[in-house]
Amino acid sequence: MSSSLYIGIMSGTSLDGIDIALVDFATAQPQMLASQFSPMPESLRQDLTQLMQGNTTLQQLGEVEHRLSLCYIEEVNKLLTQTNLSPQQITAIGCHGQTVWHAPQCEFPFTMQLVDGNLLAAKTGITTITDFRRKDMAYGGQGAPLVPAFHQAIFAHSACFTVVLNIGGISNITLLPPNGSVTGYDTGPGNTLLDNWIQLHQGKRFDENGIWASQGTVHQALLDHCLREHYFQQRPPKSTGRELFNLSWLQQQLSHFPDIPAVDVQATLLELTVQSIVQQLPIPETHVPAQLLVCGGGARNPLIMQRLQALLPQWQVCTTDDKDIDSDFVEAAAFAWLAYQTMQHQPGNVPEVTGASRAAILGAIHLADTF
């Protein structure tokens, strides 16, 4: 009988690092047994940033994928050591890899996540599943977001309207009406514009606790202009990324408003993240309690959490930590769950979310050589 233990690995659009989680699917409620985060090595982060701006060579692409895969392998081996487990005790790894380009709307839609699943299977000795998004795309879907099915499995609540909000580099929501069908989509920027702007002006990777943003004043005309971005008005299914919300996009908005102090731009970008999320939330029925469960790195920003609650006085706004699910590792756990689904020959996508024509078994399986 195969083990109920799975490992999920996620490195997301913020390029902050690698999240890994050990999840047990022995019972109806998945249990996160261990997790760890390692910062992305600086040279690799810089090379990935270059890649994500589209200027690269196939040689660089191949080498970055190999270097990144070696980092994933190191994380798996560290986790096995930390938990005193052998590779044979893990049924499979679900590794998202690193998205370097996501283009679901172009003439020939595609999405590209870098990871060499063969290398992970060979070097960890654990069956490894990668390439989760493209089966959904093969059926006409966006290929993202994929976490809503997992959110439904662990957060759905029969007595209240639950929205799960991931604030990563990009923000995405999952709508879980009581006893209703799950929907979800990317709302737009999460931390990525905030990160890019503080990196440009202060050389920091991110605005810890939103301190810099809190020292600025929101520039209302700039905010109103940014909120007119077509993406925010688009009807779901929809997904986005740094292909749209990047420094070039920001500088295009700023060109209409010269001389805004950098600190006020940071304050305005935080308000843009919050208001673009709030404007895309449904208005729950008055008699149904509503809860917003926040995860991802943005859940660690007290100013974002405070502004969300201020703009949503009728909602209970909290983090998934308050529901005993570590807000830093929800995405990593989701990819352990997606691997579990695939190994059970069950679908991982939600067609109502991605627009795919059907539910589908996701991923490419790289079997460990345990013969």
Ligand X SMILES: Nc1ncnc2c1ncn2[C@@H]1O[C@H](COP(=O)(O)OP(=O)(O)OP(=O)(O)O)[C@@H](O)[C@H]1O
Amino acid occupying residue 155: F
Q: Which is nearer to ligand X, 76 or 334 (CB)?
A: 334
Q: 304 to 363, contacts with ligand X by CB under 6 A? A: 331
Nearest position to ligand AH0, beta carbon: 145
Amino acid occupying residue 159: A
- Least separation in angstroms between CB 362 and ligand AH0: 11
Stretch that binds ligand X, among 57-65, 102-110, 155-163, 294-302 (CB under 6 A): 294-302
| Per-residue interface string for the shown chain with ligand AH0, residues 235-264, x marking contact by CB under 6 A | ----x-x-----------------------
- Least separation in angstroms between CB 247 and ligand AH0: 17
Q: 306 to 335, contacts with ligand AH0 by CB under 6 A? A: 331
Question: Is residue 120 close enough to count as binding ligand AH0 by CB under 6 A?
Answer: no
Task: Name every residue whose Cβ is closer than 8 Å to that of residue 283 and which is 6 or more positions away in sequence.
Answer: none
Q: Which is nearer to ligand AH0, 145 or 177 (CB)?
A: 145
Taking CB under 6 A as the criterion, the residue among 6, 14, 126, 273 binding ligand X is: 14
| Contacted entry of ligand AH0, ligand X, none for residue 14, CB cut-off 5 to 8 Å set by kind | ligand X
Taking CB under 6 A as the criterion, the residue among 168, 188, 216, 237 binding ligand AH0 is: 168
Stretch that binds ligand AH0, among 55-63, 168-176, 272-280, 303-311 (CB under 6 A): 168-176
CA gap 283, 265 in Å, rounded:
29
- Least separation in angstroms between CB 206 and ligand X: 4
Question: Is residue 16 close enough to count as binding ligand X by CB under 6 A?
Answer: yes
Peptide bond before 145: cis, by omega within 30 degrees of 0?
yes
Q: DSSP string spanning 250-316?
A: HHHHHTTSTT--HHHHHHHHHHHHHHHHHHTS----TTS-EEEEEESGGGG-HHHHHHHHHH-TTEE
Q: What are phi and psi of 357, to 5 degrees?
A: -75, -15
Question: Is residue 224 close enough to count as binding ligand X by CB under 6 A?
Answer: no
Q: DSSP string spanning 166-205?
A: EESSEEEEEEE-TTS--EEEEEEESSHHHHHHHHHHH--S
Among candidate residues 206, 223, 208, 232, the one with its CA nearest the CA of residue 260: 223
CA gap 219, 216 in Å, rounded:
9
Q: Strands, DSSP E only, in the chain?
A: 5-10, 17-24, 31-39, 92-95, 98-103, 110-114, 128-130, 161-167, 170-176, 183-189, 290-295, 315-319, 364-366
Place of tokens 């460990």: 368
| Contacted entry of ligand AH0, ligand X, none for residue 117, CB cut-off 5 to 8 Å set by kind | none
Question: Is residue 111 close enough to count as binding ligand AH0 by CB under 6 A?
Answer: yes
CA gap 18, 72 in Å, rounded:
7
Taking CB under 6 A as the criterion, the residue among 7, 40, 147, 270 binding ligand AH0 is: 147
Q: Which is nearer to ligand X, 206 or 232 (CB)?
A: 206
Dihedral sign of CA atoms 53, 59, 61, 63 in order: negative
Chain residues in the site for ligand AH0 (CB under 6 A): 12-13, 99, 102, 111, 144-147, 166, 168, 170, 172, 186, 239, 241, 331
Sequence ranges of the binding site: 12-19
Binding site for ligand X (CB under 6 A): 12-14, 16, 166, 168-170, 190-191, 194-195, 206-210, 296-298, 300-301, 331
